Amino acid sequence: METLSLKRDDLKAFLESCEKIRRVQIPVAADSKQYRFMPMAEAGAGAVALDCLRTMLPPKKYFFPPEESLYKFDGSRYLPIEPEIEPFLLFGVHPCDLAGVMITDRFFSRNYPDRTYWIRRNQAAFIGLGCMPDSKCFCASTHNQYVDSLYDLFMWDLGDRFLTYVRTEAGQELVHAAERLFAPSTEKDRHDCLEMLDKRNAAFTLKADLDDLPQIFDLSDDSSTWRDIASACFTCGKCAMVCPTCTCYDLDDKTDLQGHGERIRRWTSCFFRDFTRVAGDHIFRDKRERRIKNRFLHKEHGYVNAFGSPSCVGCGRCLAVCPAGINVVSLYKKLRSAAARRCGSCQKPEAPATA
Ligand code: SF4
Ligand code: SF4
């Protein structure tokens, strides 16, 4: 893979060059603590927030918006609505969020590829950006601290410059349009990058052993930990809304008496009591404890069965927004301890004592 070097002072000019090819979306500061992706045409290239670790909403909002109209009815027929979307570029997507897009891609591809998701998604290009973890990041535990696919360009921040990986033709086109700004990477660039990556690996303070969670969940079905979490959780759904891989939605038909109307899709959460309400007013998961267990089982067990890996990428958003202070890493640790207490053989062998 080609690697290039871009001076930090030239980033603005590079983004402005990209804007001539694709509508660029950048992370900007919404206030002193929060960030969001927004069009660079509105914010200006100078507003790009390189220190943004996690935006309030992840990139999924571009492909699977919080609310969209899927069809119109004219009294006798369904008329599909085609999202009108120009080619766009998401700049500054961190590895965990790139991994999140790979997961929603898989979800919206199975059985029947989702029409509107893929219309939007096929217009997207990505410039990934390396980051330095804070106390809420645990993507190293989910094995998403690096990604080798999906992005078109990926930049590692080396302070005064960015080591830039060119992965696709779309990335090549962006570089080519601004080639005077790029130089071939040097031995020093690569050395500095490796040094920075060592620091980054050491900076992960939130760690969890997640690889055998499906087994731990099987052993924890009636654990009191679920009841404890259920009594603390407000079921506000914030954690699901901000999660890059949560994809629960509701469909709602709005019609008039002549049968004209539209079908609306909206984000929802399997934490909500109404989520499993069906005809006859039956609710499959009436108890909060069952809904909570379902969400985590789906992410950490159901996804492993269906796709071979869990759907939590370790971005830390749910930890950052939960008004009840619920922390998924602590939850998993508590489930593991409870399972280990019940079944000694599940306990990992302790490391031999050293002299
Ligand atoms: S954000 Fe916290 S309180 Fe709200 S539903 Fe999620 S876990 Fe429960
Ligand atoms: S469950 Fe939490 S940490 Fe995991 S991907 Fe979703 S928001 Fe991020």
At 122-155, the pLDDT tens digits run 999 999 999 999 999 999 999 999 999 999 999 9
- What residues make up the domain containing 312? 213-344
**pLDDT for 343:** 66
Predicted structure pTM score: 0.93
**pLDDT for 345:** 52
CA of 33 to the centre of ligand 1 (A): 20
Which ligand is the nearest neighbour of the Cα of 233? 1
Q: Has residue 237 got a pLDDT over 60?
A: yes
By alpha-carbon position, which residue is closest to atom 6 of ligand 1? 239
Q: Which of 35, 40, 26 is nearest to 54 (CA)?
A: 35
Q: Please tell me whether residues 166 and 236 are part of one structural domain.
A: no
Atom of ligand 2 nearest to the CA of 96: 5
Given 161, 182, 202, which residue is the final one in a domain?
202
CB distance 121 to 109 below 8 Å? no
Does a structural domain hold residue 71? no
Q: Which residues pair with 254 in a beta bridge?
A: 262
> Using CA atoms, how far apart are residues 5 and 192, in angstroms rounded to an integer?
12
Q: Please tell me whether residues 153 and 262 are part of one structural domain.
A: no
Instruction: Indicate the top mutation candidate among 229, 315, 330, 332 to test ligand 2's pocket, ranked by most ligand atoms within 8 A of CB.
Output: 315
Atom of ligand 1 nearest to the CA of 269: 5
pLDDT band, residue 258 (cuts 50/70/90)? confident
pLDDT average, residue stretch 193-201: 97
Q: Would the CB of 241 count as within 6 Å of ligand 2?
A: no
User: How many domains in the chain?
Assistant: 2
Does a structural domain hold residue 333? yes
Q: Please tell me whether residues 254 and 142 are part of one structural domain.
A: no
Q: Please tell me whether residues 161 and 30 are part of one structural domain.
A: yes
**Which of 8-17, 178-187, 324-333 is predicted with the least confidence, judged by mean pLDDT?**
324-333
- Non-local (6+) Cβ contacts of 347 within 8 A are 340
Given 202, 236, 270, which residue is the final one in a domain?
202
Task: For tokens 């992965």, name the residue.
Answer: 167
| Distances, alpha carbon 318 to alpha carbons 57, 129, 136, 271, 314, in Å | 11, 21, 9, 13, 9
By alpha-carbon position, which residue is closest to atom 8 of ligand 1? 233
CA of 103 to the centre of ligand 2 (A): 12
